[in-house]
Amino acid sequence: MFLGFLSLPAAAQEDLDISSGDSTHGEKLFLQYCRGCHGKDGRGGAQTFMPHVDTLTKKGYIELVPNDYLFLVISDGGRAVGKSAYMPAWGEKLSDEEIVDIISHIRSLPLY
Ligand code: HEC
């Protein structure tokens, strides 16, 4: 649970600025690297993957997590935030800028 992972109240933190992110490029990267597990629209349910991958579009959750959290889990993998180690670390493969682009894309997905 992300609240346990954050030691400071979210409001006291300077969150990562993603205003330079290119969500169109982020979407391309997402479809290339992330779709296999998260589904093309981030809603999980990719056919082949077990265990179940939760949706990235859950209203009341994803819009509340800071960009810092998304950056950390994408860069360092699920284990870095106490989630499944089946979530790979992408920090070697993707540049910081590409991760910011992907975060912009995740932020643009419709919530359910
Ligand atoms: C091999 C399968 C796999 C791939 C590929 C993958 N993920 Fe994940 N991802 C997971 C799993 C499993 C979790 C943990 C889900 C959970 O615990 O609810 C996760 C969790 C996450 C989370 C945290 C979600 C939350 O509920 O807090 C984010 C953000 C995320 N992934 C983004 C990405 C991005 C961006 C990519 C592509 C660069 C990607 N993932 C590729 C399997 C994958």
Fold of 21-108: Cytochrome Bc1 Complex; Chain D, domain 2 (1.10.760)
Test site for ligand 1: of 87, 96, 104, most ligand atoms within 8 A of the Cβ: 87
- Spatial distance between the Cα atoms of 20 and 34, rounded to a whole number of angstroms: 21
- Give the start-to-end residue ranges of the domains of the chain: 21-108
Q: What is the pLDDT of residue 36?
A: 87
Q: Percent of the chain at pLDDT above 90?
A: 70
Instruction: Region of 77 please: left (phi>0), alpha (psi -120 to 50) or beta.
Output: left
38 CA distance to ligand 1 middle (Å)? 7
Q: Which of 72, 69, 73, 40 is nearest to 57 (CA)?
A: 40
The residue whose CB lies within 8 Å of the most ligand 1 atoms, and thus the one to mutate among 6, 35, 37, is: 37
Output the CA 59–ligand 1 centroid distance in Å: 17
Q: pLDDT: is 46 or 3 the higher one?
A: 46
Instruction: For the chain, give the number of residues.
Output: 112
pLDDT of residue 4: 47
Question: What is the C-alpha R_g of the chain?
Answer: 13
User: Do 2 and 81 meet the contact criterion of CB atoms below 8 Å apart?
Assistant: yes
Reported as a single tens digit per residue, the pLDDT across 53-85 is 878 999 999 999 999 999 999 999 999 999 999
Q: Is the peptide bond before 51 cis (omega within 30 degrees of 0)?
A: yes
What is the rounded average pLDDT for all residues in the chain?
A: 88
- Cα separation, 15 vs 52, in Å, equals 29
Q: CB–CB of 71/16 below 8 Å?
A: yes
Average pLDDT over residues 92-106: 98
Could you report the per-residue pLDDT of 30-51, keeping only the tens digit for each? 999 999 889 899 988 655 555 6
Q: Of residues 99 and 2, which shows the higher confidence score?
A: 99
